[in-house]
Structure 1
Amino acid sequence: MTDPRPPRSRTAAVPQGRARRLLHFGRAVGELAAGAAAEGLSRLARGQMPQVSRMVLTPGNARRLATRLSQLRGAAMKFGQLMSMDGHGVLPPQFTELLGGLRDRAHVMPASQLAEVLEREYGVGWHRRFRSFSFEPIAAASIGQVHRAVTHDGRELALKIQYPGVRESIDSDVSNLALLAKTPGLVPSGLDPAPLFERVRRVLHQETDYVAEARALTEYRERLGADELFVVPEVDAEHSTASILATSFQPGEAIDRLAEPGVPQAHRDRIAHALCRLVVREIFELRLVQTDPNFANYLYDAKTQRVALLDFGATQTVSLQRVEHLRALGRAMRDQDHDAMSRAARRAGFIAESDPPEQARQVVDLILMIGEPLAQDRLFDFAASELFKRSFEAGRDQYFGSGFSHAPPPDLVFLQRKMVGVFMLCTRLKARVNLARLFGEQL
């Protein structure tokens, strides 16, 4: 039987169709403009000369934008997630923090729309295939929400159910995001958001292919094998469809809860060390990387002290040639060798032969700065270090100064995204990890 209790989460039907979704984007622009105007008047009343960026990037506008993107879901919400994760140093801290709520908390479908999706995928009388089904989702993200179900033979499942129309709306949503980005003060002057929009478009097309994700999850599970700390769910093919991915249910809570007071430093360090070691294994041994570093994709089970790895929609393979490129980059970082780094960066594609010498030198300097922890055989204190801030500022100065002649290869962008996300999680946990030894094992 099904669980008749109404959802306790915020509910909103997923807007379907280009016109309806465009209307929501237009409302988002209007709400930002109205909020900016109110902030400007408030500042004038206090005798302050308002700046456009400060009028737009306010906590009130962040709440309004997060709510609107959460209602839209799809590419719009993915954009907000990337802003919250990649906006360090560009967006005000409060703005980034409020948008951060989009990482694992979307509006959820009302029960009527959810039932329509289930009937479309499983057929009339879909509920009879389960002993129980909870209408209250256990998670809701940009392209789907997750529900708990129990089969008649007692298997506990997590059903990731894709929002209706999300797959078909990706391209038009990305185009509509350009409208939102034109809001004065939302995007820093001189920053071209087009590459970010294209990145969102490609990621969404991959992540909405649940059949491909099921294959990637199964392959990752096989390559990882039995692990002392990490557990990977198992695909349940019987209850999976093109729009529903069924896997074994994994208990736990978001891993960043370990940052709460009372969790021993040694325990946080152990988990962070394991997460960093997993990234190293993914790249150099498994050659299969789950590239979405969303904190909600790691569930910590306090009872077993194990971490469940979730969401394999953005899984990427790593070629043997790319592994060798990364090893060369790692060795140059470890040795802080400028000449070796220049050669490795050219082979990897960070630098082209046509790049101006000064620009190439700045790229090499930036990569060596990022690799400083690999040259120090000691615990790297993520909470105390200013390395991320320094490297971001150096990259931003170069971007707005001499610029970059070309973007790095797409596969390296995704690998970088994964490593930065894991390091951000380690920072959130206030952890200490000897990165030199971890990476050194593979260099």
Structure 2
Amino acid sequence: MTDKRPPRTASVPQGRTRRLLHFGRAVGELAAGAAAEGLSRLARGQLPKPSAMMLTPANARRLANRLSRLRGAAMKFGQLMSMDGHGVLPPEFAELLGTLRDRAHVMPASQLAEVLEQEYGVGWHRRFRQFSFEPIAAASIGQVHRATTHDGRVLALKIQYPGVRESIDSDVANLALLAKTPGLVPAGLDPAPLFERVRRVLHQETDYVAEARALEEYRERLGDDELFVVPEVDAEHSTGRILATSFQPGDTIDHLAAPGVPQAHRDRVAEALCHLVVREIFELRLVQTDPNFANYLYDPATRRVALLDFGATQAVSLQRVEHLRALGRAMRDQDAEAMTRAARRAGFIAEGDPPEQARGVVQLILTIGEPLAHDRPFDFAGSDLFKRSFDAGREQFFGDGFSHAPPPDLVFLQRKMVGVFMLCTRLKARVNLARLFGAQL
């Protein structure tokens, strides 16, 4: 990690009442910020919309800070807003919420020690030759610490925040109240499916025993790889709320976007990430569905990428693989009739959907699939494809575009692909997507 800023320390609020108090403060801070922005604009002779007053950089900083203190479902919601809100939220707002992806407030040493004692017992420190109280990462579910065992193994300990698992359902209910703050959620957008999605994801991600199984299964299916490495689970030091794995050095992968990194190197890594998505879906049939940039660590010494965080790993059925192949072939051929059939089988179009709505869904998917129709490198930085796709999707979702959401498993797979493509855009990469996906179609 190269982020040398001192960590922001705050105890994790526990209990429904204390967490509700923080949500109430968030509402008050956002309302005060919006009022100040409104007065400022009125003084300049402007008549601002509620969303323009609410979705400001100053309010994004306030919201990110409050969600970072809460962690858990609240912080996961902010992460999803920053990634899934592209094209809906103002860029500055989404970017500032993006700080939640890999830099939460951290537990004070006293609270951390309490958790370690609860999980390992009194005298827990005797387990290790060395334990660093300064976390190397802090996210929505827990924070990661480096430790060295007496036999010399270097471990990464993902330590779950106290009370996070128990507060998931109440946090989601509180988020629903927060979303009613005027101007925070775009008009016409029903946030209920997003909240339910956050709730399900959090319950899955707080089950560290299940995550350890998923990590080992993924590691076995991936096998030896030239570029990617998956950490090993250390069962001896893992518990229900601590996941111990082999330590993987490196920086978050978006550091490759820094000036001076050769284009060919960025293209190589981006192509490998896209190829990995193809392999996950069509060969491994096991997808790590959280594309948070912090879940990819690039080690310049070995030029390899460590894959982290398997809490949201999802298996892909053979039937779903065939659905996706059919969708991919229709994208490649830009065939509207074939796409209509494939979209119905996959669940993007339901029986009884109005013909106009079905045509809109088909056209949106065909637009997204344009890179598959041309056997040449796709320029992520220079293309307006994603802007056009987001604009079209927003118009349909905010209008009368969709009467139902896609099947949940497709939502997670879509999130993975969008996240990887966003990373490719950050790297200003050029990748031949037609060749990568075409081999599986």
TM-score range, shorter chain: over 0.9
Match of 1:41 in 2: 39
1:51 Cα deviation from its structure 2 partner: 2.1
1:400 Cα deviation from its structure 2 partner: 2.6
Match of 2:93 in 1: 95
1:385-400 mapped onto 2 (5 Å cutoff): 385-400=383-398
Q: Is the contact made by 2:187 and 2:398 (CA closer than 8 Å) also made in structure 1?
A: no
Letter in 1 for 2:199: R
Q: Distance in 1 between matches of 2:385 and 2:352?
A: 30
Structure 2 residue corresponding to 1:271, chosen from 262, 269, 284? 269
Q: Deviation per CA, 1:90-147: give whole Å up to 9, x if none.
A: 1111111110000000000000000000000000000000000000000000010000
Q: Is the contact made by 2:37 and 2:53 (CA closer than 8 Å) also made in structure 1?
A: yes
Match of 1:340 in 2: 338
Q: Distance in 2 between matches of 1:407 and 1:91?
A: 20
Structure 2 residue corresponding to 1:403, chosen from 395, 401, 404? 401
Q: Distance in 2 between matches of 1:89 and 1:264?
A: 29
Q: Is the contact made by 1:127 and 1:133 (CA closer than 8 Å) also made in structure 2?
A: yes
1:10-25 mapped onto 2 (5 Å cutoff): 10-25=8-23
Q: Deviation per CA, 1:292-349: give whole Å up to 9, x if none.
A: 0000000000000000000000000000111011111101111111111111111111
Q: Percent identity?
A: 88
1:113-262 mapped onto 2 (5 Å cutoff): 113-262=111-260
TM-score, reference length from structure 1: 0.98
Q: Deviation per CA, 1:365-388: give whole Å up to 9, x if none.
A: 111111000000000000011111
Letter in 2 for 1:399: F
Structure 1 residue corresponding to 2:358, chosen from 360, 379, 400? 360
Runs of 4+ displaced beyond 3 Å: none
Q: Distance in 2 between matches of 1:8 and 1:388?
A: 36
Q: Is the contact made by 2:214 and 2:313 (CA closer than 8 Å) also made in structure 1?
A: yes
In structure 2, the residue corresponding to 1:33 is in which secondary structure?
helix
Q: Is the contact made by 2:360 and 2:401 (CA closer than 8 Å) also made in structure 1?
A: no
Q: Distance in 2 between matches of 1:239 and 1:255?
A: 28
Unaligned runs of 5+ in 1: 1-6
Match of 1:425 in 2: 423
Q: Distance in 2 between matches of 1:253 and 1:91?
A: 28
Q: Distance in 1 between matches of 2:254 and 2:93?
A: 19
Letter in 1 for 2:124: W
Letter in 1 for 2:311: G
In structure 1, the residue corresponding to 2:53 is in which secondary structure?
helix
Match of 2:435 in 1: 437
In structure 2, the residue corresponding to 1:245 is in which secondary structure?
strand
Q: Is the contact made by 1:8 and 1:136 (CA closer than 8 Å) also made in structure 2?
A: no
Match of 2:348 in 1: 350
1:406 Cα deviation from its structure 2 partner: 1.6
Q: Distance in 2 between matches of 1:402 and 1:20?
A: 39
Unaligned runs of 5+ in 2: none
- Pick which of 302-311 and 391-400 moved more: 391-400
Structure 2 residue corresponding to 1:322, chosen from 320, 330, 341? 320
Q: Distance in 2 between matches of 1:8 and 1:256?
A: 20
Q: Distance in 2 between matches of 1:174 and 1:277?
A: 35
Letter in 2 for 1:76: A
Letter in 1 for 2:175: L
